[in-house]
Amino acid sequence: MTHSSDFEQRELLEGDSKSKSVSTERRRNTTAMNAWHSFASFCDESWSEFTPRSENNQRLQRPAAKVERACAEIVMEGRREDWQQVVKERFKASGDLERARSFFRHVFRKERRGTSSLLVVFRKLEADVARFADLAEDAFGKTGAQRDLIRLNAMADIIRSYQGPERTYLFLFSLPRIVDEEGKNVLLNSRGFGALVHWGASRFLKEFWLKLQQRFRITRVALKDEAARNLARELGETEAHLRDRLEASRQRVEELEAALEKLRDQAREQALDDFARGLQNRPTPILDQMFGLYRKLKEREEIGEPLSGDLLGVFIVLEEMLGAFESLGISFFPGEPGTEMELQGDELGAFSYVEGSPFSDENDVKRVLCIHPGWKIGEKVISPARVREVKGKE
């Protein structure tokens, strides 16, 4: 099913139907322009993923998109009034009041408590978009050693502030109104960008930032991985330099090699620890979620319940990922939920003892049942296992 084509790029984005196209020569010679063209190309290639495709979804989204566009225009006016007052005045007569209120509730949900002024949101949006435009050259226009990871992390921080369809839509809507003339013209000439603005804050838009970050390798994981590679390269260069300088003394070279090896091990252990903790120490722990989904799919397979093609693919990927984590030393313990074991008082540091009689001392031993496994790297615990005492057993 194709998207509706009943919209004009200029009218939807700026009302400027006579905006000039950016010249081909300028695209080639200006890094900043290349950045905007890269961003627009992503929109052109991927917009169908972030907009309603079926006729039914389009029919449902059209009236919502009209209201959401009107709400975004209100924000761009930079008014000082309370948003609730303005929304009531603008939408009460049209019957779209609740839909507009829902949009603004999502827009204001991350602002400081008690803030409801449209001007506060507009000023922050204006500053964030300007900073986004400043960082676009690094994020979308540079590759390899040209990339500045500090600036890319700043880009990731801005993106994190505009999660969710409503905030994402407001940010995209404001881009051609705040960026410079050249960037604006690129966006106005992007069919994909125009489609994103046309269809409003649909539920499909929630994946936009993640896909964009994956495309240009500016996710937190990708940036950490790139930083680790840069560090490894720098260490390699340092090692080669030291070898050249200390070639006259074999003993000294051996000592330096041993020290460098220790640094590599420590760097690897630290990177692995940061990686594992970064996955687990979230509002929704990723390791727990992966393991829980894997167990559910495995149980279905063990009882002979067939898995659909998509579920089977997910099962295989999860199995491979958990195996890869285990090969790196990241594993769950003491076993799957339901595992029984003996627990000694001096081992409590690795466990969360949620139910049972207290341990009398560090040598006291109790029979316990694993309620929820924990995670560790080698012998280092990053997430304690939850256990309870098994009653009536020796």
Query: By three-state DSSP, how is residue 253 classified?
Result: helix
Mean pLDDT, residues 242-271: 76
pLDDT at 292 over 50: yes
Provide CB contacts within 8 A for 174, sequence distance 6+. Answer: 72, 75, 76, 125, 126, 129
Q: Omega into 334 within 30° of 0, i.e. cis?
A: yes
pLDDT at 25 over 60: no
- pLDDT tier at 19, thresholds 50, 70, 90: very low
Query: Can you give the pLDDT at residue 392?
Result: 66
Instruction: For 327-386, write each residue's pLDDT tens digit.
Output: 888 888 888 888 898 999 888 889 989 999 999 899 899 999 999 899 898 888 988 999
Which of 67-81, 233-247, 338-352, 355-369 has the least mean pLDDT?
A: 233-247
Which of 163-167, 192-196, 256-260 has the least mean pLDDT?
A: 256-260
Number of Cβ within 10 Å of residue 205's Cβ equals 22
Mean pLDDT, residues 20-32: 44
Provide CB contacts within 8 A for 292, sequence distance 6+. Answer: none
d(CA 87, CA 302): 55
Query: Can you give the pLDDT at residue 319?
Result: 85
Query: By three-state DSSP, how is residue 94 classified?
Result: coil
Percent of the chain with pLDDT over 90: 42
pLDDT at 48 over 70: yes
Query: Can you give the pLDDT at residue 6?
Result: 41
Q: Omega into 63 within 30° of 0, i.e. cis?
A: no
Residue 321 amino acid letter: M
Task: Let me know: does 363 contact 345? Beta carbons within 8 Å.
Answer: yes
pLDDT at 271 over 90: no
pLDDT at 300 over 80: yes
pLDDT: is 272 or 37 the higher one? 37
- Cα angle, residue 39 at apex, residues 69 and 28 outer, rounded to 5°: 135
Name the phi and psi angles at 316, rounded to 5.
-65, -45
Task: Let me know: does 196 contact 50? Beta carbons within 8 Å.
Answer: yes
pLDDT at 2 over 60: no
d(CA 364, CA 343): 8
Task: Let me know: does 185 contact 14? Beta carbons within 8 Å.
Answer: no
pLDDT at 17 over 50: no
Q: Alpha-carbon Rg of the chain, whole angstroms?
A: 27
Task: Let me know: does 352 contact 385? Beta carbons within 8 Å.
Answer: yes
Residue 180 is classified by DSSP as -
- pLDDT tier at 312, thresholds 50, 70, 90: confident
Query: Can you give the pLDDT at residue 252?
Result: 78
Tell me the CB-side half-sphere exposure of residue 270, using CA atoms within 13 A: 10
